[in-house]
Structure formats: C-alpha cells, structure tokens
Amino acid sequence: MQYNLKEIFLKYNLCLKTSVLLSLIRSHLFIFAFISNMFIAAMFIIARTWKQPRCPSADEWISKLWYIHTMEYYSAIKKNTFESVLMRWMKLEPIIQSEVSQKEKYQYSILTHIYGI
C-alpha cells in the first residue's frame, strides 16, 4: 500500500480543523450558557425589585384632579385670569357626562342582549 503524503496531510488537516472547531463550539456554548444564566438571574432580580405599574384607584384619580383644579384656581386668582380656568373646567363637564351616559348605554345594551329584552 502506497501512502500519498498529500492525502495524509489533507486528512490530518481536516481532522485537526474539526477538532479545533469542536473545541471552539464547546467553549462558545459554555460561554453562551453562562451568559444566558447570568441574564436570567439578573432579570429575576430586576423583576423582584421593580415596582410594578398599577392603575390608580378612583380616589387617587379624583384627588389628583382636585389638586390640579385647586392649583389652577389659585394661580388664576394670582394672575386675575379666573374666567379662563373656570371656562376650561366647564368645558370638561359635558365630556365627562357624555362618557358616563355612554357607559350607561353600553350596560343597558348588554343587559338587553343577555336577557333578550
């Protein structure tokens, strides 16, 4: 059997390349797994310490609106522009009433749909 040096070199080189590639893949997978675990742990820590957003209650919402209203009222008294603030709040009243009436209409339509009235 005759050995061709070129074939032996190519087989050895191919074997060497695959072993190098496999070791690189293993090291990269280890680094990726380590980084992934660190990322997941960091996300759990952030989720535990993060203050979750929530919807304000009706009392908080009304008190916030009342605070805005009083601040605008007293600043308008200081500037003698009381009419503009009063008109702005008067314009909001029909909007709020229409929203309430829309909710009542929606509730009535649901009841008629459920009970077949």
Instruction: Answer yes or no: do 108 and 65 share one domain.
Output: yes
Say whether both 79 and 110 belong to one domain: yes
Mean per-residue pLDDT for 40-50? 75
pLDDT exceeds cutoff 60 at 33: yes
Question: For 87-109, what is each residue's pLDDT tens digit?
Answer: 666 565 565 555 555 555 555 55
Within this chain, do residues 22 and 63 fall inside the same structural domain, yes or no?
no
User: Distances from the Cα of 9 to the Cαs of 15, 21, 84, in angstroms?
Assistant: 10, 18, 92
Q: Check pLDDT > 60 for residue 1.
A: no
pLDDT band, very low/low/confident/very high, at 49 (cuts 50, 70, 90): confident
Same structural domain, 69 and 48: no
Kindly tell me the sign of the dihedral angle through the C-alpha atoms of 110, 112, 114, 115: positive
Structural domain harbouring 106? 58-115
In a shared domain, residues 74 and 97: yes
Q: How many domains does the chain have?
A: 2
Same-domain check for residues 64 and 37: no
Angle between helices 82-115 and 58-79 (to 10 degrees): 160
* Better pLDDT: 50 or 9: 50
